[in-house]
Structure 1
Amino acid sequence: MSPSDFARNPGTAFDPDWFEGHAVNTPAAERRAAQLPARRSLKKTYQAAWLVNAIRCMDLTTLAGDDTEARVKRLCAKAKNPLADHILTGLGLERVTTGAVCVYPTMVRAAVRALDGSGIPVASVATGFPAGLTPMNLRLAEILYAVEEGAAEIDIVITRAHVLGGNWSALYDEIAAMREACGDAHLKAILATGDLQTLSNVYKASMVAMQAGADFIKTSTGKEGVNATLPVSLTMVRALRDYGARTGAKIGFKPAGGLKTAKDALNWQILMNEELGRDWLRPDLFRIGASSLLGDIERQLEHHVTGRYASSSRHALA
């Protein structure tokens, strides 16, 4: 299924009544987040199935200053075949792919070529990633460029100052303009939650982004001092649930930055299942932004199949 087959978020008029006065109880959010990993024990075959699902929901990512077309081509090869043949056979699977490949705008065309015929979409960061401090006309032009190059999904970054200053209408207008520039490409709004200071700000920014038409809300660029955490993710998921209760729209969620181990992949899926249900364990509504995570998942699945751990060099990412 291509991203164009997924239901879009039409957005709503800007309405601060949906979030003004909403205060997040930080200690309660932290307690709930700490309890989540213990609420479901995943062992053996069940754990393997959840780890395979994490691969299906993964945005396999390279966002390095020394990215080359050759590196992107290798990453795309890994996205098409993320597990070694003997692991697939041992799991009784014929084919698994990642949910998408995420690259810089200038690498989109190379990724599109490398993924041709695979059904895997290309996502591109844009809008002055990671700081988002370039002029607005240039940020919109970058979206248009990435879409023209073939990106099916655009991961935009917001102006954090709008959140920190409580200028919610400016944040809404900014994201709405980005949504329009995306055209048919889906918009994933990166909130850079590590920069937003409070969970209440995280909730409000999440709600504004969805009102402005974001198809996904995403925690982090991966470049902040603090990236995805379970309390922040819980806060965003609760905002997503509240938005859905008001509008009937199903909005996707993407944690990114700091998810490095198979245990992390399980914990975030448990969060989605406990708070939103099984619908949010599909790649149309849940993505994991990852670069190194896949290697650890592959090692755990090899152990499940063979009873042995292979060295990390056996599972090179790209």
Structure 2
Amino acid sequence: MSSAPTATAPGAPPGGSPLADVTASETSLRRYLHGLPGVDAVGLEARAAMLGTRSIKNASKAHAIDLAISMIDLTTLEGADTPGKVRSLCAKGANPDPSDRTTPKVAAICVYPDMVATAKEALAGSGIHVASVATAFPAGRAALDVKLADTRDAVAAGADEIDMVIDRGAFLAGRYGKVFEEILAVKEACGTAHLKVIFENGELSTYDNIRRASWLAMLAGADFIKTSTGKVAVNATLPNTLLMLEAVRDFRAATGTQVGVKPAGGIRTSKDAIKYLVTVNETAGEDWLHPDWFRFGASSLLNDLLMQRQKLSTGHYSGPDYVTVD
């Protein structure tokens, strides 16, 4: 559970009420979540578009590219994953550019639970975390005991971080208490592993739902809130990430507890990554510009960052064999 449970948050009734009271019942939780300010969709999208046009100088761009590399959860989540593919990905994450040892390492390697032990062994001594999806990823359609077993298996195999999916069906049906209790239970099953809670924003349909899901997950003790699985048509977007950054900013202001944000799916270019970093800085602030508080869930983004990094260093792009094809 997050600390400072007696603080109040935006949207609470006049005079405020303890967060512990907010989560005491389904009724109080619903009242609280539906009392959060509605999202001005036009204003949100306009601000995201404006932030997306910001340009930065080359010296700042070099720093931004290195920062983005250090924030990547380098990911493979395919049915055809093999131990060899995972070991290769781990080697790339630990040493992204063998020709330039100043290149930062990625933050984590993200795999399915059955590949955690392989990744853990391959990354021994690297300082890179092993993240594992769990809780019947990506649909989340399983009984709670199955989800908890999935989580415990990943942690037992050595996972440092667990990326869980919420039950979107329960959330959209307004069964907020069920979603809250599942996050609590998974958080407990994580032990010392950090918990990232995935909303699948493309299925939540509205910005109001994304704001409610953000507060619900943070109230339940999420260490990170994550946009998406990367397995649906609509994944991370700048507006929905901006909305989540506003939520973590406001949650820290209310409780003193800082929560991370992870956009995932569809972020493929350095230009896109820099737009997200600008949005982090302008919305949540510099405190979130660190791998402990912001991550990119990505598989192909690293290659473009490496090519742009070399372009800044040498003045030209390398040939197609400069980066590996994952």
Q: TM-score, normalised by structure 2?
A: 0.90
- What corresponds to 1:9 in structure 2? 2
Decide which of 33, 47, 71 is 1:57's aligned counterpart.
Answer: 71
Q: Is the 8 A contact 1:11 1:212 kept in 2?
A: no
- What corresponds to 2:17 in structure 1? none
> What is the SS of the residue equivalent to 1:31?
helix
- What corresponds to 2:209 in structure 1? 201
Query: 1:14-33 alignment to 2 at 5 Å?
Result: 14=23, 16=29, 18-22=32-36, 23-33=38-48
* Partners of 1:175 and 1:183 in 2: CA distance: 13
- What corresponds to 2:16 in structure 1? none
Decide which of 138, 145, 151 is 2:159's aligned counterpart.
Answer: 151
Pairing 1:80–2:82 present: no
Give the deviation of 1:306 after TM superposition. 1.3
Q: Is the 8 A contact 1:191 1:205 kept in 2?
A: yes
Decide which of 135, 141, 158 is 1:133's aligned counterpart.
Answer: 141
Query: 1:282-293 alignment to 2 at 5 Å?
Result: 282-293=290-301
> What is the SS of the residue equivalent to 1:96?
coil
* Partners of 2:2 and 2:115 in 1: CA distance: 27
Q: Is the 8 A contact 2:4 2:256 kept in 1?
A: no
Bigger Cα displacement from structure 2, 303-312 vs 126-135: 303-312
Structure 1 residues 168, 142: CA separation in 2 closer, same or farther (over 3 Å shift)? same
Kindly provide the amino acid, as one letter, of the partner of residue 78 in structure 1: K
- What corresponds to 2:50 in structure 1? 35
Kindly provide the amino acid, as one letter, of the partner of residue 202 in structure 1: I
Pairing 1:272–2:265 present: no
- What corresponds to 1:68 in structure 2? 82
Q: Is the 8 A contact 1:193 1:220 kept in 2?
A: yes
- What corresponds to 1:3 in structure 2? none
* Partners of 2:3 and 2:229 in 1: CA distance: 24
Bigger Cα displacement from structure 2, 13-22 vs 107-116: 13-22
Instruction: Report the identity percentage.
Output: 47
* Partners of 1:98 and 1:203 in 2: CA distance: 29
> What is the SS of the residue equivalent to 2:156?
helix
> What is the SS of the residue equivalent to 1:309?
coil
Pairing 1:294–2:308 present: no
Deviations 1:202-252 (CA, angstroms, capped at 9, x unpaired): 000110000001000000000011000011111111111121111100100
Q: Which runs of 5+ in 2 are unaligned?
A: 6-19
Kindly provide the amino acid, as one letter, of the partner of residue 79 in structure 1: G
- What corresponds to 2:260 in structure 1? 252
Give the deviation of 1:317 after TM superposition. 4.5
* Partners of 2:73 and 2:278 in 1: CA distance: 18
Kindly provide the amino acid, as one letter, of the partner of residue 64 in structure 1: E
Give the deviation of 1:18 after TM superposition. 4.3
Give the deviation of 1:186 after TM superposition. 0.4
- What corresponds to 1:305 in structure 2? 313
Q: Is the 8 A contact 1:299 1:312 kept in 2?
A: no
> What is the SS of the residue equivalent to 2:177?
helix
Q: TM-score, normalised by structure 1?
A: 0.92
Structure 1 residues 18, 247: CA separation in 2 closer, same or farther (over 3 Å shift)? farther
* Partners of 1:53 and 1:18 in 2: CA distance: 36
Q: Which runs of 5+ in 1 are unaligned?
A: 1-7
